[in-house]
A and B are shown apart, each in its own frame.
Chain A
Amino acid sequence: GDSVTQMEGPVTLSEEACLTINCTYTATGYPSLFWYVQYPGEGLQLLLKATKADDKGSNKGFEATYRKETTSFHLEKGSVQVSDSAVYFCALGGSGGSNYKLTFGKGTLLTVNP
């Protein structure tokens, strides 16, 4: 079945450091890929998405590129801020951006220190 593997946390960085959170997936067909972020005490929010191979999703300085050849969707940011401290989830959905029956990774806790 479909599955998502993301790097174990927690990840602790200093402000302005570079961030990469690895995410790889196993799926049949042509899934869509998502990154969600969960701030303390809140629900998940969509951060970015990509619906087909070589698509790059971007938002708030974060980027991720859908790499079919390596089945990966790594999240990157060039310079993190304290306000980026949160849990980040990689998720896999159906084709064409379909959200239904999303399969989530276990989440990576990011802490950014000033």
Chain B
Amino acid sequence: DSGVTQTPKHLITATGQRVTLRCSPRSGDLSVYWYQQSLDQGLQFLIQYYNGEERAKGNILERFSAQQFPDLHSELNLSSLELGDSALYFCASSVTGTGSPLHFGNGTRLTVT
């Protein structure tokens, strides 16, 4: 058990809808990362937060947004969903923003129909 909790485990929704994925980092970890894993693109870094502030951005679409709250949990919001957004979304956390190991959650599987 990595200590990173992601909810829900599975999500099925229709095109055009909006969903929110939630991540609780390991106790003591200040940094949260979001990754998307799909069959065609593989694992792609989306965005990182450190202690509530956005730290780095990867290949995150404008329809997607994220935030980290004062209690350090994070939410990834996906809107105007398309079929191609179907993927496994992982959250990871680490103590600091650089150098310390990443601990991954078990992911949220999103299916857009």
Which of A41, A99, A101, A105 has its CB near the most chain B CB atoms (within 10 A)?
A99
Binary CB contact string for chain A from 39 to 72 against chain B (1 if under 8 A, 0 otherwise): 0011111100000000000000000000000000
Q: Are A41 and B42 in contact (CB under 8 A)?
A: no
Q: Are B43 and A101 in contact (CB under 8 A)?
A: no
Q: Are A46 and B98 in contact (CB under 8 A)?
A: no
Category for how many chain B residues contact A: 20 to 34
Residues 83-113 (chain B) with a chain A CB within 8 angstroms:
90, 92, 94, 97-107
Set B42, B43, B55, B102: member contacting A46, Cβ < 8 A: B102
| Interfacial chain B residues near A41, Cβ < 8 Å | 106
Q: Are A102 and B106 in contact (CB under 8 A)?
A: no
| Interfacial chain B residues near A42, Cβ < 8 Å | 106
Q: Are B42 and A43 in contact (CB under 8 A)?
A: no
How many A-B Cβ pairs are below 8 Å?
56
Complex Cα gap A66–B97 (Å): 23
16 new A-B contacts, CB < 8 A, other than A100-B55, A107-B43, are A42-B106, A43-B90, A43-B103, A43-B105, A44-B104, A45-B104, A97-B99, A98-B99, A99-B94, A99-B99, A99-B101, A99-B102, A100-B31, A100-B98, A102-B102, A105-B42
Instruction: Spell out B's residues near A (CB within 8 Å).
Output: 2, 4, 31, 33, 42-45, 48, 55-56, 58, 90, 92, 94, 97-107
9 nearest CB pairs, A to B? A43-B104, A104-B43, A98-B98, A106-B42, A44-B104, A97-B99, A46-B101, A43-B106, A99-B102
